[in-house]
């Protein structure tokens, strides 16, 4: 006999999961076009908030399936787990850490005391420093070494120290209000260690007006450190070309005025030569992929837009945290429902690929960030309760692309190939729009026509004799659409800093919800370590001018062959 605790962990043995599977097989016999003909059902699957509408009526679900998912959430103690997370328990047990990104968006008048320290106070003291620093740069009080205003900000960082920042920047930069606020300044990202990324990042900039922001939680990440050292050398070289007699003090002043860091590793930022007062800290309870809410996002985004806009983004995120806490019913709790639907699709329905489809160019980087958020969090295979391998696979493969570009790329497979779970995201009010006199609709209306048409096309399909009438028989099947493809839609009233924060927090909590159901630790990332270690061995060989055969023998014949080919052709 298994104990309650154990049987609760083993999803495959869960009675509710078995019921969900039976439900799925029952629903598989009902076509989506039939499900969608039920007005009451559709109504029950739309949740309206002040700023967006979440509609999951195009998912293969009925009221009973939803009830079962809610039951599973209750059995798995999802809300209790969120409370443990929000209260600062060390739920990231494999790293012995708390998971407290929520504290980053708590307001000044709230408090959360851990080991005698009010972390909300700490959070706001860093935010205050970011505000002061960014205001002084924006007002030209803090300048570069030669006294010129700093207007180009290069954010150096990778993974969690890059992706969300790029997403938020893109989400906001074309909004008319923020566009004005950022006039005359530019934010660039340098993430990849690929030299092309470096040369593009520094191309065409005025070195005297550039501020480098090194973002690295650990300040040891190989790519970020090499890029930062390169930027330092590049900057000094540019100064030396223009001012040949640079003194040691000048060099110090250049680094001190044009390099800042966001990190938890002060000894290393010190070694790099960054002034203590130019280091903005955060805490080990902020996971990399959640760190955009800390100085990681606050500093670059406040420099380019002003700190008020970042605060608005934080308020958006907080509104979703508050939903988790205050929502009376799981069915109304949108991030939880998104997680349950995700679980339904991946685990019960076997749709292991999730595609994020924002109908907004401003959200072009959202899928990239969600790839990391989802796959680094839930790409796991060990139970956090038993510390043993699970007997099931967790988490979906995630990719995406803004509509309508995606339609002309991979939608073929979604319509007539595999079963994917689709997530449509759009906003009613455009950030920018174009409509010339003779056009029937504006560009935004044209874009959004597709946002509404695609979920229906996927769900309804086109396959009856009547619908295929007139098509030559040999082409009939080629041109038929079985439909029955599922999706949900998230429609924002508008895309601004607040709703960008909401969107991100929704996805963060949906990913956590799924991880809690799977009984994994969604907050570590041991899977990225092995590759890093092996790269150390290769690096030593690539650094040598001449490599003896013996040294290649440390690698298997395939890899040594590839390395030899590389070494012979690299110049």
Active site residues: 376, 408, 532
Comparing CB distances to ligand F6P, the nearer of 141 and 528 is 528
> In angstroms, rounded to a whole number, what is the distance separating the alpha carbons of residues 251 and 481?
66
Q: Is 379 in the site for ligand F6P (CB under 6 A)?
A: no
Would you count residue 218 as binding ligand F6P (CB under 6 A)? Answer: yes
Size of the site for ligand F6P (CB under 6 A): 14
- The residue from 151, 155, 161, 522 that contacts ligand F6P (CB under 6 A) is 161
d(CA 249, CA 255): 10
Distance between CA atoms of residues 203 and 151, nearest Å: 15
The only residue of 130, 133, 142, 159 in contact with ligand F6P, by rule CB under 6 A: 159
State in angstroms the smallest separation of the CB of 549 from ligand F6P: 33
Q: Please state the closest distance from residue 214 (CB atom) to ligand F6P, in A.
A: 9
What's the min distance (Å) between Cβ of 523 and ligand F6P?
Answer: 10
User: Toward ligand F6P, which CB reaches closer, 376 or 508?
Assistant: 376
CB of 533 to ligand F6P, least distance (A): 12
- Least Cβ distance, residue 529 to ligand F6P (angstroms): 8
Distances (CA, A) of 286 to 100, 104, 571: 6, 9, 42
Residue 382 near residue 389 (C-beta atoms within 8 A)? yes
Of the listed pieces 7-15, 121-129, 210-218, 534-542, which binds ligand F6P according to CB under 6 A? 210-218
Report the alpha-carbon distance of residue 571 to residue 568 in Å, rounded: 8
The pair of three-digit structure tokens given for residue 503, joined into one six-digit string: 């969107």
Non-local (6+) Cβ contacts of 124 within 8 A are: 108
Say if residue 194 is exposed, middle or buried (CB neighbours under 10 Å; 0-12, 13-18, 19+): exposed
In sequence order, what DSSP letters do the residues of 50-96 get, joined into one string? SSEEEE-TTSS--HHHHHHHHHHHHHTTHHHHHHHHHTT---BTTTT
By CB under 6 A, tell whether 224 contacts ligand F6P.
Answer: yes
Q: Is 227 in the site for ligand F6P (CB under 6 A)?
A: no
Among the residue ranges 156-164, 183-191, 244-252, 551-559, the one whose residues contact ligand F6P (CB under 6 A): 156-164
SS3 234: helix
- Return the residues of window 504-533 that contact ligand F6P according to CB under 6 A: 525, 528
Closest CA to 378 of 352, 350, 414: 352
The residue within the footprint of ligand F6P, chosen from 216, 404, 486, 496 (CB under 6 A), is: 216
- Cα 386 from chain centroid (whole Å): 29
**Binding to ligand F6P by residue 406, rule CB under 6 A?**
no
Stretch that binds ligand F6P, among 100-108, 132-140, 158-166, 171-179 (CB under 6 A): 158-166
Residue 54 C-alpha from the chain's centroid: 19
Binding region for ligand F6P (CB under 6 A): 158-161, 216-218, 221, 224, 288-289, 376, 525, 528
């Amino acid at each position: 006999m298994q104990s309650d605790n154990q049987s609760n962990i083993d999803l495959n043995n869960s009675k509710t999961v078995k019921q969900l599977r039976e439900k799925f097989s029952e629903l598989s016999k009902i076509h989506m076009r039939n499900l969608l003909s039920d007005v009451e059902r559709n109504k029950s699957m739309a949740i309206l908030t002040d700023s967006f509408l979440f509609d999951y009526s195009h998912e293969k679900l009925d009221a009973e399936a939803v009830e079962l998912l809610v039951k599973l959430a209750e059995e798995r103690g999802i809300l209790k787990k969120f409370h443990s997370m929000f209260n600062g328990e060390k739920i990231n047990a494999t790293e012995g850490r708390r998971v407290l990104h929520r504290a980053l968006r708590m307001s000044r008048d709230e408090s959360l005391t851990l080991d005698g320290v009010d972390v909300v106070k700490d959070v706001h003291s860093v935010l205050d420093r970011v505000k002061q620093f960014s205001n002084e740069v924006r007002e030209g009080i803090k300048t570069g070494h030669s006294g010129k205003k700093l207007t180009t900000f290069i954010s150096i960082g990778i993974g969690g120290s890059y992706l969300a920042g790029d997403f938020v920047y893109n989400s906001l930069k074309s909004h008319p209000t923020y566009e004005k606020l950022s006039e005359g300044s530019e934010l660039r990202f340098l993430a990849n260690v690929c030299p092309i990324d470096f040369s593009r990042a520094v191309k065409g900039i005025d070195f005297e007006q550039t501020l480098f922001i090194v973002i690295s939680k650990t300040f040891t990440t190989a790519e970020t450190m090499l890029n930062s050292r390169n930027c330092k050398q590049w900057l000094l070289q540019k100064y030396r070309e223009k001012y040949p007699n640079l003194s040691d003090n000048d060099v110090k002043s250049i680094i001190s005025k044009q390099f800042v860091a966001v990190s938890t590793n002060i000894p290393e930022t010190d070694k790099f030569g960054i002034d203590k007062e130019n280091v903005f800290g955060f805490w080990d309870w902020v996971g990399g992929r959640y760190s955009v809410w800390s100085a990681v996002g606050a500093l670059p985004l406040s420099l380019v837009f002003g700190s008020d806009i970042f605060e608005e983004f934080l308020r958006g995120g907080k509104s979703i945290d508050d939903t988790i806490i205050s929502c009376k019913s799981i069915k109304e709790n949108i991030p939880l429902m998104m997680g349950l639907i995700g679980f339904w699709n991946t685990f019960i329905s076997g749709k292991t690929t999730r595609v994020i489809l924002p109908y907004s160019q401003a959200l072009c980087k959202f899928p990239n960030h969600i790839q990391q958020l989802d796959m680094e969090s839930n790409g796991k295979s060990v139970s956090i309760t038993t510390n043993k391998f699970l007997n099931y696979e967790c988490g979906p493969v995630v990719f995406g692309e803004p509509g309508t570009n995606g339609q002309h790329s991979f939608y073929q497979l979604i319509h007539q190939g595999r079963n994917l779970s689709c997530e449509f995201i759009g906003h009613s009010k455009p950030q920018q729009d174009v409509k010339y006199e003779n056009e029937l609709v504006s560009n935004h209306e044209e874009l959004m026509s597709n946002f509404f048409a695609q979920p229906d096309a996927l769900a309804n399909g086109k396959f009856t004799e009547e619908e295929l009438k007139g098509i030559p028989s040999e082409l009939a099947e080629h041109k038929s659409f079985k439909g029955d493809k599922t999706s949900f839609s998230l429609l924002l009233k508008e895309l601004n800093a607040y709703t960008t924060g909401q969107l991100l927090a929704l996805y963060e909590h949906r990913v956590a919800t799924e991880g809690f159901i799977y009984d994994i630790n969604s907050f570590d990332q041991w899977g990225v370590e092995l590759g890093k270690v092996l790269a150390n061995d290769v690096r030593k060989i690539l650094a040598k001018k001449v490599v003896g055969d013996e040294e290649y023998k440390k690698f298997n014949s395939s890899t040594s062959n590839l390395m030899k080919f590389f070494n012979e052709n690299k110049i």
